[in-house]
Structure 1
Amino acid sequence: MPIEDAFPQGTPVWIDLQSADQPAAATYYRSLFGWDVGPALAETGGFSLASARGVPVTALGPLPFEDAPTVWTVYFSVDDLEATAAAVTSAGGSVLLEPGEPVPGIRLAIVADPAGAVFGLWQRREHGDPWLRDEPGAVDWLELVAEDPASTFPFYESVLGVGISEMRVGDEPYGLFDVGETSVAGAYRSDGTEPAHWLVYFNVADLDAAVVRATELGGTLRTEPQSAPGVGRWAEILDPQGAGFALLEPEPEPA
């Protein structure tokens, strides 16, 4: 069971969903991924913790204000929340939610990169709770989608301290965000028809079956299944409230 419990600066540390219909979202994702979804609690800001096999996967919450979009948010670990938020503005980004502690023990801020992609900064406790990753029903990959993602690389290098490298996905170059020798997220060049954003990929054992299930439950297939050697097969989905995410069936490891 891949469980992460160490989150150096620049590492994805958590994701959450803020939804226009939190109970319906809980039903949808519970049915799609088999999550155990707890009750919405005042002490967690109205969020419900979702777990798989007893290990936290994500949290599902209400919208922060009435006209906010239903959206998945990616959070990156930082060592000094205030200093990193200041670095965001110095590097050309913007701070949408000032550093604070909205829930006891959780210090975070919401920011946007120069292209407008929104993400979170999270200063986690030294010994934080574990996070389930990279197995069916859990987060597998995180990706910046933008018309010109390379233009934002200096921002992420400056703000998060990540390194930048590149691989090939099919015939296209694909950017990677690295913490030490580990690639922790990717960057994909879009066609410019959608705003810059961070996309969450959830691991599934059978992409075709997961796509059928996702749409049967009321979701919408946004992109047809695609594949790439060394990566696997994936497709993008919109949930019933309009939040985008992706399903990824990773290519099996060589025997």
Structure 2
Amino acid sequence: MPIIHSFPQGTPIWVDLQSSDQPGAAAFYRRLFDWDVPPATAETGGYSVATLRGVPVTAIGPLPASFPEGSRSVWTTYFTVDDVSKAAAAATAAGGSVLLPPGELAPGVQLSIVADPAGAVLGLWQKEKDSPWLREEPGAVDWLELVEAGCEASFDFYENVLGVGTSQMEMGDGVYSLFDVGETSVAGAFEPATATQPHWLVYFNVADLDAAVVRLTELGGILIGERGSAPGVGRWVSVADPFGGGFALLEPEPEEA
């Protein structure tokens, strides 16, 4: 049950949900993951910061006013950078685009939203002081993955913008690509078998995948993919909340005693 306190350049630092129904989404995820989701405040930029045992897990906010009417909810993954303005400029130079120019989200937090050359959206986050983030336990973020056809074509973008390296590991009958910060793999990249909009997928840890799927569907969520599994990884499935926000559930393989 790690609580992450330090975020080197290129490391995922946060995820949040922009929802078409902020109160409805808060109620759904509160019941699905047992999060404490207090009302949004001005101090949190209109977002509700969700916690487990008092440690931040994520935040839920409204869809930006700039989104077209009828847009579905969306999860966004943020990566820490040492200089958000330089990183945003590097995103453009590497063939991506800047969707939200660098600016101060809150005191001490500089933020920009960019897209890689294929269109997958991510956030760039520069903080004066790191704060704790709960990871890799039931109800918390476990893994983050770029889902993109021909994803290797975007690796130079991530190397130039985030300063990460790339590597590969055997998984099942094939190989799986990884983004690395030093010796640590911090995220993955996957080529989908069917056409889909390039995106970053958030995996939430669950203790029992089958029970979590039952709970999700009872709350109005839906399955949007087949269950998958891999030795050394665990079992997972892609799903969506009642408002269209896509994410995944992951039951990690038990560690050897």
Structure 2 CA distance for aligned equivalents of residues 43 and 98 of structure 1: 21
Aligned residue for 2:121?
A: 118
Q: Which of 99, 106, 109 is the matching residue for 2:109?
A: 106
Residue 9 of structure 1 and its aligned partner are, at CA, apart by 0.4
CA deviation profile, 1:125-155 (whole Å, cap 9, x unmatched): 2x32100000000000000000111110111
CA deviation profile, 1:36-74 (whole Å, cap 9, x unmatched): 001111222210000001100000000112524410000
Alignment pair present for 1:219 and 2:221: yes
- TM-score normalised over the length of structure 2: 0.97
Structure 2 CA distance for aligned equivalents of residues 100 and 41 of structure 1: 20
Q: Which of 192, 195, 209 is the matching residue for 2:211?
A: 209
Return the letter of the residue paired with 1:37.
Answer: V
- Percent of paired sites with the same residue: 67
Aligned residue for 2:196?
A: 194
Alignment pair present for 1:132 and 2:153: no
CA deviation profile, 1:206-252 (whole Å, cap 9, x unmatched): 00000110111000011122111010000011100001000000011
Alignment pair present for 1:18 and 2:18: yes
Residue 192 of structure 1 and its aligned partner are, at CA, apart by 4.5
Structure 2 CA distance for aligned equivalents of residues 172 and 102 of structure 1: 41
Contact 1:146 1:192 in 2 (8 A): no
Alignment pair present for 1:80 and 2:83: yes
Residue 102 of structure 1 and its aligned partner are, at CA, apart by 2.6
Q: Which of 229, 233, 244 is the matching residue for 1:242?
A: 244
Contact 1:144 1:199 in 2 (8 A): yes
Aligned residues: 254
Q: Which of 156, 159, 182 is the matching residue for 1:157?
A: 159
Unmatched runs of 5 consecutive residues or more in structure 1: none
RMSD value, Cα: 1.0
Describe the SS at the equivalent of 2:79: strand
Structure 1 CA distance for aligned equivalents of residues 113 and 217 of structure 2: 31
Return the letter of the residue paired with 1:95.
Answer: V
Structure 1 CA distance for aligned equivalents of residues 44 and 57 of structure 2: 15
Structure 1 CA distance for aligned equivalents of residues 79 and 26 of structure 2: 24
Aligned residue for 2:145?
A: 143
Structure 2 CA distance for aligned equivalents of residues 116 and 5 of structure 1: 30
Return the letter of the residue paired with 2:133.
Answer: W
Return the letter of the residue paired with 1:202.
Answer: F
Structure 2 CA distance for aligned equivalents of residues 142 and 240 of structure 1: 21
Describe the SS at the equivalent of 1:96: strand
Unmatched runs of 5 consecutive residues or more in structure 2: none
> Which sits farther off after the overlay, 41-50 or 193-202?
41-50
Describe the SS at the equivalent of 2:24: helix
